[in-house]
Structure 1
Amino acid sequence: MPKRFVVTASEFSDLPPFSAGFELAEALTAAAQQLHDTVTPNSAMRTAARLAVHLLPGAEHAGVSVLDGDSHPRTVAWTDEIVRAAEAPGADGDRQQPYWDGLWHRPVVRLDDSETEEGGGGLADLGLRSALALRLRTDRRRLTVLTAYARRPRAFDEAATRIGRLFTAHVSLALDSTTVREQLTEAMRTRDLIGQATGILMERMNMDAAEAFDSLVRASQRENVKLRDLARRIVDASNRPA
């Protein structure tokens, strides 16, 4: 079961009230509805990247990347190819966004000018001057990041940062919801697949259900194959024409 992210008012205690009133409320409500309608984590992240460009003042491009420990980040959603270029490893193999490291400890990192600030060289080469990086979710070794980019320096002010934090709260909830849904769906598929394989063994080997399941488990351990994968092999072999 994935870690749950519960958002409370205290998480935004340092943010003053918005002056945008109903316009912002309506925009966030519409965004939340679109995120709620997604059915997988990948679709939620693609929707988040697209919405970020419309919601965050100053944003021209956006992407979502996943960092697994010391490995290279994986860009899993992007609005256009310049995002993939910005988030690809550099020529020396290092990632081009060292400011992402700060998201392990705080929810947002802002790069005001890639031409003058340390760590922004890779962006400057692409003509991207500003970045607003927002943490979506984190555990011990995995960090999921939403980053908005702009071609002008200092494109993201305090208002953009505040809106970004509210928006990512909705995205985090959508990711949790779709992850749980995906896991439950996979669990049901696995259960059905193992049930089919057990039934095939019962018929072929003249076993009862318990014996057939035990035989399946022993074969899985003996061959060092996941029970689900072994069950799929048995079902697929049974469905092949004679």
Structure 2
Amino acid sequence: MTQSIETVRVHRQAHAFAELAMQLHDSTTTTETADAVVRFAIPAVACDHAGIALQDADGVITIGTVSSDVARELYALQIGHGDGPMIAAMQHGVVLHIPNSAAETRWPAWSRAAVAAGVGSVVHLALQAGNSTLGALSLSKQAYDGFSADDLAIAHVLARHAAIAVATAQRREVMTTKVDARKLVGQAMGILMERHDLDADRAFAVLRRYAEEYDLKLQQVAEQVVAGRRFTRPKPSAPTDLHAAG
């Protein structure tokens, strides 16, 4: 009977993770991906609070998504102080399990806040893809010693799924941004070509010259052309707006 119950439990977990994988595949943004992981984590690990913090290429940490105000407040505290178990998990690329928040001495400010919020135990798992740490998945329970060995095993698997999904979503967003930027530059070139009888090479050269002259990105210059805006900081040697660039 025990084996039969265990088999059923394993099958249910496998089915649940399969459904999660499909949700993550269908997610189009990093926010949607983080939301799906956090929603899944609450029942999967029977935790009271969950969240995902994200870290960009410059090491700036932001709150991705949270399941509660408690999770948000504990994230905000650590980001504000630049220290805490979530940040340590990211910095070292590890899983950091704190079974008793009241007994934690490494981060006293966080410990006091966690106890005051009714958080007894926490696990923070770095989200790693290749050599990059993309963020952390944080799960907490009101009970002290609340995470069983099975809970931690599920959390590990969930963190691996989350890391891959977040990396995929971020790559997709970068590609979308690049495509949008190319479209915008193309529109700006078309405007210059039509209004000033320029060929494509000359129109692009005008955009690039203004980008260099005003220390702007090509996309920013294109936005000004499409919107019909003038530069507010013209130099004596340059025309005062792009529409006089012919």
Q: By the TM > 0.5 criterion, same fold?
A: yes
**Cα distance in 1 between the residues matched to 2:93 and 2:208:** 45
Give the match for residue 24 of structure 2. Answer: 35
Paired residue for 1:191?
182
| 2: CA distance, partners of 1:135 / 1:164 | 11
Q: Is the 8 A contact 2:129 2:163 kept in 1?
A: no
* 1:63 positional shift: 0.7
3-state SS of 2:64 partner: strand
SS in 2 for 1:225: coil
Matched with 1:147 is: 138
Residue 102 of structure 2 aligns with which residue? 115
Give the Cα separation in 2 of the matches to 1:125 and 1:68. 30
User: Which amino acid is 1:77 matched to?
Assistant: T
Q: Which has the higher helix share?
A: 2
- In structure 1, the gaps of 5 or more residues are 1-17
Does the 8 Å CA contact 1:103/1:109 hold for their aligned counterparts?
Answer: no
Q: Match for residue 218 of structure 1?
A: 209
| Residues 1:79 and 2:67 aligned together | yes
| Equivalent position of 1:174 in the other structure | 165
Aligned residues: 219
Aligned pair in 2 of structure 1 residues 217, 166: CA closer, same or farther (>3 Å)?
Answer: same
- SS of residue in 1 equivalent to 2:140: strand
In the TM superposition, what are the counterparts of 1:1-242 in structure 2 within 5 Å?
Answer: 20-56=9-45, 58-67=46-55, 73-89=61-77, 93-95=80-82, 97-98=84-85, 100-118=87-105, 119=107, 120-137=111-128, 143-237=134-228
Please, which runs of 5 or more residues in structure 2 have no aligned partner?
1-5, 230-246
CA distance in 1, matches of 2:35, 2:96: 21
TM-score normalised according to structure 2 size? 0.80
Counterpart code for 1:66: L
CA spacing shift, 1:103–1:202, aligned 2, 3 Å = closer
Three-state SS of the structure 1 residue aligned to 2:186 is helix
Per the alignment, do residues 230 and 208 of structure 1 end up closer, same or farther by CA in structure 2, a change over 3 Å counting? same
| Cα gap change, 1:70 to 1:112, in 2 (>3 Å) | farther
Distance in 1, matches of 2:133 and 2:12, equals: 34
Structure 2 CA distance, aligned partners of 1:139 and 1:173?
9
Deviations 1:55-95 (A, max 9, x none): 11x411101113469977422201111111121227xx525
Q: Which amino acid aligns with 2:187?
A: Q
Distance 1:186 1:69, change over 3 A: closer
Note the C-alpha offset of 1:138.
6.4
Q: Deviations over 1:26-52 (max 9, x none)?
A: 111111111111100111112211111
